[in-house]
Amino acid sequence: MTAEIQHINESDYNEILQQAVAVFDNARNIIARGISTTANMACWNMGKLLYERKLEGKHGDGIVKRLSADLKQRFPSMGVSPRNLWNMKRFYSRFLNSDEKLQRSVAVLPWTHILLLIGKELKLDDSAILYYATEAVNKGWTRDLLLNAIKMGMHLTQKPTTIDNNFAEALSAPQAMYANEVFGSRFNLGFLGVTEPIAELELEQRLVEKIKLFLLELGNGFTFIGNQYTIAYEGREGRVDLLFFHRELKCLVAFELKIGKFKPEYIGKMNYYLSMLDRTERRKDENPSIGIILCAEKDHVDVELALEGVTKPIGVADYQLLLPKKELAKIIQDEMNLYIKDSHAEKD
């Protein structure tokens, strides 16, 4: 070990070690007080230390190995392997010159998500990382869901956001603002593995089977109530394709699934269902029920005209569903290759 660090004297090394110990000591103390983002702060500060000390190449490798060994003795549960220390430096250098919005978005991600986003194989630029970081936080994506989204190139397929709802007119200002954050203009249902057009009932069945993944795509706060949910009022009966309750919005959310292009008459049917829900299912302490119509395609002008004068809160969104078989096969193969590579790296 001594031969590996012959290019640095003991006093310089001890100074680096003391600074590193201070980084993790401070992080451990704050983590004990319940601040979840501190682990990434420690990684950032450790990466900064290694970056500013210009540790790289064979010379740096020896110092980092010794540093790892000394830090493990003091912080056995902090994840200070040589590989992870180098990852911390890579983390710092990757976002050193990025804008504050991106830095803040990445800072709240789990460490495994960060390492995935800064992977050399993916070569994601700042705008792509910002998109995936924001989506991962808002929708509670696991690392696997994040990887699938990246492999599908979701940041390349997102259309400019258009407001295809009447939330501003039908809801209070605070609730309308939050509802717009919760319900996007497009939902990605690629996790269903669909490779050819399917009927609405089959689409619904697939969503129900994988309701956990669908909830993650919707975002946090949803509770699934049921599919083909029957609502009845004075001899009238209707069936909502998918019914949820959102804890933060404090309201029922009804989803109607359509395999084709949006039609204006869908608004009337949803308005009818929401009226029945509000009269039969909504509690006194709950907000007005919200309806979301999911279509394969929508035209903003058609939606705008159909919603004019409607007082119930209704939104229209399209979904990205069909995945060509070749693209699906490539995604699966890429995932397998990455898994094998990660497994070999862990053994090393």
In order along its 348 residues, the chain shows pLDDT tens digits of: 444 444 667 777 777 777 777 776 665 544 433 344 567 888 888 888 888 888 887 777 888 788 888 888 887 777 778 888 888 999 999 998 998 889 888 888 888 899 999 987 778 999 999 999 888 877 667 787 788 778 878 788 665 556 688 888 888 877 887 787 777 766 767 666 666 667 777 777 777 777 666 766 677 788 889 888 999 999 999 999 889 999 888 999 999 988 778 999 999 999 999 999 999 999 999 999 999 998 878 888 999 999 999 999 999 988 766 555 566 566 666 666 666 666 666 555
Look at residue 269 in the predicted model and tell me its pLDDT. 95
For the sheet containing 222-233, what is the strand order? 186-188, 314-320, 290-295, 251-257, 236-246, 222-233
Q: What is the pLDDT of residue 114?
A: 93
CA neighbours closer than 13 Å in the CB half-sphere of residue 206: 16
Query: Which tokens is 199 given?
Result: 């009927």
- 49 within 8 A of 12, measured Cβ to Cβ: no
105: left (phi over 0), alpha (psi -120 to 50) or beta: alpha
Phi-psi region at 321: left, alpha or beta (left = phi > 0; alpha = psi -120 to 50): alpha
Helices 38-52 & 10-31, crossing angle to 10 degrees? 170
The per-residue pLDDT for 32 is 39
> Domain range spanning residue 276?
167-320
Into how many domains does the chain fold? Answer: 2
pLDDT at position 326: 64
3-state secondary structure of 5: helix
Predicted pLDDT at 316: 92
pLDDT at 281: 94
Instruction: Indicate if 142 and 67 belong to the same structural domain.
Output: yes
| Residue 347, in any domain of the structure | no
Residues 6+ away with beta carbon under 8 Å from 9:
none
Per-residue model confidence (pLDDT) at position 336: 67
* Run of H or E including 317: strand 314-320
Residue 186 lies in a domain: yes
**Of the candidates 1, 91, 4, which has an alpha carbon nearest to the alpha carbon of residue 41?**
91
* Collapsed DSSP state (helix, strand, coil) of residue 245: strand
**Are 144 and 185 contained in the same domain?**
no
Q: Which of 155, 178, 202 is the last residue of a domain?
A: 155
Q: What is the chain's alpha carbon radius of gyration, rounded to the nearest angstrom? A: 25
Would residue 205 count as lying in a domain? yes
> CA nearest 227: which of 213, 241, 215?
241
Do 102 and 179 lie in one domain? The reply is no
C-beta separation of 104 from 129 below 8 A = no
Distance between CA atoms of 190 and 157, rounded to whole angstroms?
12
The pLDDT value recorded for residue 183 is 78
The confidence score (pLDDT) of residue 308 equals 93
Which pTM does this prediction carry? 0.52
Instruction: Check whether residue 198 and residue 296 sit in a common domain.
Output: yes
- The three-state secondary structure class of 287 is coil
| Separation of alpha carbons 164 and 298, rounded Å | 9
Residue 338 lies in a domain: no
As a whole number of angstroms, the distance between CA 320 and CA 159 comes to 11
> In terms of domains, do 127 and 183 share one?
no
Is 331 a domain residue? no
Q: Are residues 63 and 114 in the same domain?
A: yes
Can you give the CATH number for the domain in which 290 is found? 3.40.1350.10
pLDDT at 334: 67
Q: Give the model's pLDDT for residue 190.
A: 67
257 in the same domain as 113: no
Looking at the structure, tell me whether residues 176 and 295 fall in a common domain.
Answer: yes
Q: What does the chain come to in residues?
A: 348
In sequence order, which ranges of the chain are alpha helices (DSSP H)?
10-31, 38-52, 57-74, 82-95, 100-107, 111-117, 126-139, 143-151, 154-157, 167-170, 173-182, 200-209, 211-218, 265-280, 300-307, 325-347
Which of 103, 122, 155 is at the close of a domain? Answer: 155
The answer to whether position 335 is within a domain reads no
Q: Do residues 270 and 245 share a domain? A: yes
Verify that 65 and 24 share a domain, yes or no. Answer: yes
Both 120 and 210 in one domain: the answer is no
The closest alpha carbon to 302, from 267, 260, 253, 259, belongs to: 267
Query: Is 345 inside a domain boundary?
Result: no
Supply the pLDDT for residue 218: 72
Question: Side chain identity at 106, as an amino acid letter?
Answer: V
**Does 97 fall in a domain?**
yes
Residue 95 and residue 206 share a domain: no
